[in-house]
């Protein structure tokens, strides 16, 4: 019989891994749609109208599916983690409620105008609708990440006993919601979303360039995506380096797991590879006897920012059980490795663009096509590091995960729902991918854009008439 704690964690992990794809697509697309709308109105070039109309369809589909899968996640706090919801509901429920009342309603209201109102409203109102759709999308992330960041670095609370049960009370909302982790998580997540969409757009466009079916639409898409990639990829690495030092300061156990560092030591090297030295330990995520390939001093330098001799607290120093080190260690390295690949791709593309050879480099096009969904994979890896690395805590240093699981939940019940979610979410993800691919194949412009679109009509170009 499976442990209900393990089954609940697997179910939440599965639903989160699938759900995060859709917010990444919608949050990442939002700035592009605002830009396309502004350029369409300002220049009246048909290519920007085509870009706005096409990518709005992808955005709308992602928004709808993301809403459905997000609601399921909120229900799981009651079905699988009722003890956590009871104890921390006062702190955790507020941001989730604000996300629904403020951000979601704002986004949903203006999305109707943005999707269906291009020929029905003025340019000014349509531009405003694009901005508010993007604002609502990014505000959703604010409240969700406030809740999650509080679980990483809890502040502004006190624990009281009610009817013999510990309850976490909100005593300082500003300290709780402006906790130290939030700005780091928000900037890193939003930049990752934009980077992921830039990779996706550039990869799809590169496919049409590579197969000699490119149009002005796809060439413009490729250039815009690459321009954004040139900014977001290096920034993600720079910000991630500083973010890592923040993790080392606030969650030293997680940082030790990221580096597979068991003993407290100074002048610690960065482990590029780490493998158990015995066959029996290969499946043991807590194996300590490791064969490593490392770069001397670099881990200490990363943790401190400027001291190659800095001390890193080892996992053996912590009284609680350690997170699954192998999962955290390898997820972190895969994430960082992909991040450097994105920088290489960006500079490679930028160099070819500067030389006027962007559309003639087949190898670059193949690399971009192969990397089109790797940004989303990297986001998944980052969340694995964030959530698995916090174990055994559901609220860091306050409540352990096993204590947050619904007390009446049996292993059989959890296993049945887990199996059901595997089937439903696999089907949902397959359907989403099918629809997106079909849209790209059948509804993307296939002919060169004309210089100007027809903007005739009484409502067009009337400034101030909303």
Residues 6+ apart with CB under 8 A from 254: 247, 323, 328, 385, 389, 390
Q: Residue 280's pLDDT is what?
A: 66
pLDDT (tens digit per residue) in 12-35: 999 999 999 999 999 999 999 999
Q: Residue 223's pLDDT is what?
A: 96
227, pLDDT greater than 90: yes
Calculate mean pLDDT across residues 268-286. 73
383, pLDDT greater than 80: yes
Q: 330 φ, ψ to 5°?
A: -75, -35
SS3 (DSSP) at 289 = coil
pLDDT (tens digit per residue) in 43-83: 989 999 999 999 999 999 999 898 888 888 888 888 889 99
Cis amide linkage into residue 14, ω under 30° from 0: no
CA dihedral 37, 38, 43, 47 (to 10 degrees): -30
pLDDT (tens digit per residue) in 133-179: 999 899 989 999 999 999 999 999 999 988 778 899 999 999 999 99
Greater pLDDT, 447 or 373: 373
Calculate mean pLDDT across residues 312-318. 88
Calculate mean pLDDT across residues 86-100. 84
Distance separating alpha carbons of residues 307 and 286, to the nearest angstrom = 28
Read off the pLDDT band of 42 (50, 70, 90).
Answer: very high
Query: pLDDT above 70 covers what percent of the chain?
Result: 93
Which long-range contacts (C-beta less than 8 Å, at least 24 apart) are formed by 343-346?
Answer: 343/233, 343/234, 343/237, 345/199, 345/229, 345/233, 345/371, 346/226, 346/229, 346/230, 346/233, 346/234
Q: Residue 446's pLDDT is what?
A: 66
Q: Residue 448's pLDDT is what?
A: 57
In the predicted model, what is the mean pLDDT of the chain? 88
The H-or-E segment that residue 6 falls in is helix 4-19
Closest CA to 56 of 36, 82, 42: 36
Burial of residue 265 (CB within 10 Å: 0-12, 13-18, 19+) is: middle
pLDDT (tens digit per residue) in 438-460: 998 887 776 654 444 444 443 44
Closest CA to 247 of 90, 439, 386, 421: 386
Q: Residue 318's pLDDT is what?
A: 87
Distance separating alpha carbons of residues 48 and 36, to the nearest angstrom = 5
Calculate mean pLDDT across residues 282-295. 71
pLDDT (tens digit per residue) in 258-271: 988 888 888 888 88
Distance separating alpha carbons of residues 6 and 387, to the nearest angstrom = 14
Q: Residue 456's pLDDT is what?
A: 40
94, pLDDT greater than 80: yes
The answer to whether 274 touches 260, Cβ cutoff 8 Å, is: yes
99, pLDDT greater than 50: yes
Q: Residue 459's pLDDT is what?
A: 41
**Is the pTM here over 0.95, yes or no?**
no
Closest CA to 147 of 197, 88, 76: 88
């Amino acid at each position: 019989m499976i442990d209900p704690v393990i089954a609940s964690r697997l179910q939440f992990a599965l639903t989160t891994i699938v759900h995060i794809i859709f917010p990444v697509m919608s949050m990442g697309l939002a700035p592009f749609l605002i830009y396309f709308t502004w350029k369409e109105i300002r220049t009246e070039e048909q290519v920007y109208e085509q870009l706005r109309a096409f990518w709005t369809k992808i955005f709308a589909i992602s928004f709808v599916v993301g809403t459905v899968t997000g609601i399921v996640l909120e229900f799981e706090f009651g079905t699988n983690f009722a003890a956590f919801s009871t104890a921390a509901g006062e702190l955790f429920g507020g941001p989730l409620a604000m996300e629904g009342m403020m951000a979601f309603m704002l986004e949903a209201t203006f999305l109707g105008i943005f999707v269906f109102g291009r020929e029905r409203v003025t340019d000014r109102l349509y531009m405003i609708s694009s901005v508010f759709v993007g604002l609502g999308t990014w505000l959703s992330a604010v409240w969700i990440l406030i809740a999650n960041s509080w679980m990483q670095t809890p502040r502004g609370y006190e624990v009281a006993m009610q009817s013999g049960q510990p309850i976490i009370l909100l005593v300082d909302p500003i300290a709780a919601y402006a906790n130290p982790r939030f700005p780091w998580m928000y900037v890193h997540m939003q930049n990752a979303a934009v980077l992921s969409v830039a990779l996706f757009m550039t990869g799809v466009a590169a496919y049409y360039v590579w197969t000699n079916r490119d149009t002005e639409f796809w060439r413009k898409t490729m250039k815009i995506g690459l321009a954004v990639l040139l900014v977001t990829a290096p920034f993600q690495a720079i910000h991630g380096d500083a973010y890592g030092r923040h993790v080392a300061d606030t969650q030293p156990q997680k940082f030790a797991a990221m580096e597979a560092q068991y003993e407290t030591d100074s002048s610690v090297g960065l482990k590029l590879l780490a493998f158990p030295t015995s066959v029996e330990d290969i499946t043991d995520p807590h194996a300590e006897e490791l064969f490593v390939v490392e770069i001397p001093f670099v881990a200490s330098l990363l943790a401190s920012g400027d001291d190659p001799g800095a001390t890193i607290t080892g996992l053996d120093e912590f009284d609680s059980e350690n997170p699954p080190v192998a999962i955290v260690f390898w997820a972190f390295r895969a994430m960082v490795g992909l991040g450097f690949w994105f920088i290489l791709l960006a500079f490679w593309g930028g160099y070819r663009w500067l030389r006027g050879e962007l559309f003639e480099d087949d190898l670059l096009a193949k690399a971009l096509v192969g990397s089109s969904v790797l940004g989303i994979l990297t986001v998944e890896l980052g969340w694995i590091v964030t959530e698995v690395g916090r174990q055994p805590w559901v609220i860091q240093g306050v409540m352990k995960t096993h204590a947050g699981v619904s007390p009446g939940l049996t292993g059989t019940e959890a296993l049945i729902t887990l199996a059901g979610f595997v089937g439903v979410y696999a089907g949902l993800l397959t359907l989403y991918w099918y629809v997106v691919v079909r849209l790209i194949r059948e509804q993307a412009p296939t002919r060169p854009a004309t210089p100007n679109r027809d903007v005739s009509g009484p409502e067009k170009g009337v400034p101030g008439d909303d």
